[in-house]
Amino acid sequence: MAAAGRIAGRASMRVVPRRRPAISYSGRMRFALLNSGLGLLAAAAELHRLQPEADLVIAMDPDGMPWGPRSPEDIIQRSLLLARAAAEHDPDVIVLACNTGTVHALSALRAEFEPGIPVVGTVPAIKPAAAAARSVAIWATVATTASEYQRRLIEEFGGRATVTPVACPGLADAIDAGDREATSAAIADAAGRTPRGCGAIVLGCTEYELAADQISAAVPGAVLFGSAAAVAAQAVRRAVQAGLTAGPPGPAVSGTLRVLLSGRPASLPATAVLYPQGRELAGLRTGEIPARRLADTGAGSSPCP
């Protein structure tokens, strides 16, 4: 599972910039990212910044979203549907860029795709937040807030900090819909239930990173901790560990973007470009990703099945 990290952002947002590890890579990578909605945009944008030449396949599930109210069995099946469709594009790494999906489906995806395709999950950045502040709030969906999974993470990584779970009903849905008014209302509600003097807020849902500006403004003085940067760095590390290091560096060519909606080829949703991360990705070349060339890995065959 990916290590927790901090979200990168402007100093005016009171967001801690995460130091990205130096990673040397001479080939061309391809990453598939999964989420029911737009929450994968933050990790996808971080991957593009780390590896501008990498191909990205982003797989969302408009037919099945939101995943939060679904049973664990349904979430596993929806995650597998997206992963199998994305695997047709021969990714080097699959990234489950969803906290809810990671809770319920990470083991199932790893059982099906590893070791051929490494699978990276997403966990909330409780440990670094607890190390940075005495009072920490974890903003997450209602289902995640009530889960044994989050309670275990707090016990394991909360340290000496006072950690307060804050459920955020409707926030992820509003962000996915691009409804700024509903997003603001959900953020104001969560901010009103966040302890006074809270020094750190853990963004326990990947969608929330898209609204970091608004969250930061609603809880002045708190530092936001997210997972996108750490997830992206871990995905690159897993690709390197899979052997994508041989061969001379290729020409500087920007990567491509492929979008799948519930398994179907599609265009980037219009709501995606309402967010900086979506606009960044919208500038990538679109269309079919070409078949993997042998020179990409420097080996006789692709590392994926």
Q: Where are the alpha helices (DSSP H) in 29-69?
A: 40-50
Candidates 230, 240, 241, 239; CA nearest to 3 is 230
Protein fold of 126-228: Rossmann fold (3.40.50)
**Spans of the chain, pLDDT less than 70:** 1-27, 244-252, 287-305
Same fold, 11-122+230-289 and 126-228: yes
Active site residue 168: no
Instruction: Find the length of the chain.
Output: 305
| pLDDT (tens digit per residue) in 93-135 | 999 999 999 999 999 999 999 999 999 999 999 999 999 999 9
Residues pairing with 223 in the sheet: 200
From the candidates 168, 198, 205, 304, give the one annotated as an active-site residue.
205
Q: Which two tokens stand for residue 192?
A: 């009103």
**pLDDT for res 25:** 41
Q: Could you state, in order of their start, the residue ranges of all structural domains in the chain?
A: 11-122+230-289, 126-228
From the candidates 98, 168, 198, 304, give the one annotated as an active-site residue.
98
Candidates 64, 269, 223; CA nearest to 128 is 223
The dihedral built from the CA positions of residue 86, 90, 96 and 101, taken in this order, carries a sign that is positive
| pLDDT (tens digit per residue) in 211-222 | 999 999 999 999
Active site residue 198: no
Q: What is the CATH number of domain 11-122+230-289?
A: 3.40.50.1860
From CA 302, how far away is CA 196, in angstroms rounded?
53
From CA 169, how far away is CA 199, in angstroms rounded?
22
ω into 91 cis (within 30 of 0): no
What distances in angstroms separate CA 268 from CA 59, 105, 183, one per listed residue? 10, 25, 21
- DSSP conformation class of 270: G
**pLDDT for res 302:** 27
**pLDDT for res 175:** 98
Residues pairing with 89 in the sheet: none
